[in-house]
């Protein structure tokens, strides 16, 4: 199984999620005080932190422009279908993972369609008309796993919520990624 190694430790992730941004007011409203009695199953208490691995497809597409032929690699998340140009080939490693791994909901052919369509949109957004390459055939597709820290906590009114952190870069997870994580949780429950 191919994956990208996590660089953010559990302690660093916990500090990221529990930092106090609003001084004393936030301290009064701190989630930890409310979550101390809540359980989310399997003996886990809120707030709770875990690392998960979301599936992504790497799709390599041949492009042609006035400069010549080339290849572009894109990634498509296996649940929400979020798209990005992929440039982390050197970070991919092969091995087994001991933590929660989700399998993709999207089939490979669906991911290829999304990747090609979103690459076309990205090309059309470019300004210079001469720099816009033509998309040709799909050369290959593969699956890899990307790490995220998930922080479960209780909001006011006893509702459960999550926050995300990219376990490679340490940045806050976006809404599309949160949709992918929630989709992965829902598909696991089925």
Percent of the chain having pLDDT more than 70? 84
Residue 63 has pLDDT above 90, yes or no: yes
What is the C-alpha to C-alpha distance for residues 45 and 36, in angstroms, rounded to an integer?
7
- Predicted local confidence at residue 125, as pLDDT: 86
What is the C-alpha to C-alpha distance for residues 42 and 25, in angstroms, rounded to an integer?
33
Query: Please, what is the end-to-end C-alpha distance for the chain in angstroms?
Result: 24
Q: What is the pLDDT of residues 111-137, one digit of tens each?
A: 999 999 999 999 888 777 667 888 999
Q: What is the pLDDT of residues 66-107, one digit of tens each?
A: 888 999 999 999 999 999 999 999 999 999 998 889 999 999
Q: What is the pTM of this model?
A: 0.82
Contacts of 60 (CB under 8 A, 6+ apart): 71, 72, 73, 138, 139, 140, 141
């Amino acid at each position: 199984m191919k994956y990208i190694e996590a660089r953010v430790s559990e302690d660093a992730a916990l500090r990221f999620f529990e930092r106090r941004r609003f001084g004393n007011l936030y301290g009064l409203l701190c989630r930890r005080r409310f979550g101390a009695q809540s359980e989310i199953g399997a003996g886990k208490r809120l707030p709770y932190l875990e690392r998960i691995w979301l599936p992504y497809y790497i799709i390599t597409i041949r492009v042609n422009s006035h400069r010549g032929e080339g290849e572009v690699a894109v990634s498509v998340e296996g649940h929400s279908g979020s798209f990005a140009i992929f440039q982390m080939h050197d970070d991919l490693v092969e091995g087994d993972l001991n933590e929660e791994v989700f399998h993709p909901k999207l089939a490979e052919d669906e991911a290829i369609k999304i990747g090609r369509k979103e690459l076309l949109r990205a090309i059309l957004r470019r300004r210079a008309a001469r720099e816009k390459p033509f998309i040709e055939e799909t050369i290959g597709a593969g699956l890899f796993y990307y790490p995220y820290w998930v922080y479960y906590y209780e909001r006011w009114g006893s509702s459960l919520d999550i926050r995300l952190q990219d376990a490679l870069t340490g940045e806050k997870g976006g809404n599309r990624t949160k949709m992918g994580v929630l989709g992965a949780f829902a598909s696991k429950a089925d």
